[in-house]
Structure 1
Amino acid sequence: MNRKRIIFIAITLLIVITLALIVVRLNFITQTDKDITIGMIDGSVSKNYDNVIMNTNNKSDYISHGDHMIDFANICNSKNKIYYFDASINGEISTESIIEGLEWMIENSVSKVNLSLSSKIYSEQLNQWINDHKDDIEIYASYNNNINSYDYPAMYSNVVASGKKSTIKFKDIDYSYASSNIIYIGTGVKLYEGNSYLSVLTLIRKSTK
């Protein structure tokens, strides 16, 4: 075997291995079409959605984090009924407003709720509320994947948290992913990046089983 052929084979193998590693580290999704009801607690959104019931008519002046979460949920599953609680007050989200949102979800018989929020501040009040209502509502959140950092509500014992595999100590009920990159394959191909999307993905997958 001549030298050029050996080099060609080596390069080809390297490309194949690189592509295989990339594929392994990506999360591929296609759209499902099951009738499900889910909840989301986040900040203000910029527009109305046909499949979203909101607690307020307040709107953001720009496309927000909440808009991205709703759009992604609808990409994952086409028949969502989403109860959305805008927990922001003057641009800030407090423990009290999160609990108010969770109570609103229970009043509307929503049993699975996504909290794509992250704080380094532990709240005994919120943790106790979640523990007291663990049989009434299932809460999903995402880790920020910063090593050795405090991360709430993801770290609360009765919150189903999602994140990419790392040195984070995952709880038994958590979901770890190889990457925080998600590829949607449908009428087109779209890339979503970020742990917030992992939390929504876990919620949708659990709800459509």
Structure 2
Amino acid sequence: MRTSKRSFFPSKEGKFNEWQLGVCKQCVADAAVWKLNAEMMTQFKNLSALANTLYIANADTAKKNKETRLYKDATFKALKEFIRNVLYPTLKANSLVADVDLVLMGFPSRGFTAHEPIPVPEEVPVLTTDVGKHHGITVYAGLKQKTHLTDSQRRSGIYGFKLKYLVDGETVWQELTSTSLKHTITFPAEYEGKHVEFIAAWVNPRLQEGPWSDTVKALIN
């Protein structure tokens, strides 16, 4: 499997899609044995399925357009961030996952098999939003000037934040995890003019949540 020089992902989009589907299938099959976090697996399965659906749809020249391409690109980016920043570190830190399994799935080999206890975050994130172009909204966990966690935050157990959002007219909250202090979500064109609510909580490397923030609303343009 050929990968890009800067990551372990296959460099071709089609190969990456095939690879991520295989990784997801493997994780689902061994989730009980590896005792993988149920919420993390739900997020992975949802992102994986959506990425595959959009990849197939954009392969149809009669259906694809700029909007569908942007939505697909944003979904692939979110999936790669999730695999790189959440899934792989979780698998690597899990002593129940054999090193050979990591390598067979296409991940780099780990250099350790155990980890120390990690505190659960006690802080409450303060959310702000920026409404951008192409129906995108950027959510910041903290000050907009800061996009990376501080050493103090990491020492307190903060690994990233879990973000949940609900669009007007929908009943199921969507969720994702980011290890940056900001995350941009690109919504479908038909969501234009709708409000979306956001809440967030800091998480540690095991995705254990701290207290949830107040709700913040934004309008999709």
TM-score (norm 2): 0.26
Q: Which has the higher strand share?
A: 1
Q: Which has the higher helix share?
A: 2
- Bigger Rg over Cα: 1
| Larger relative contact order (Cα-Cα within 8 Å, sequence gap ≥ 6) | 1
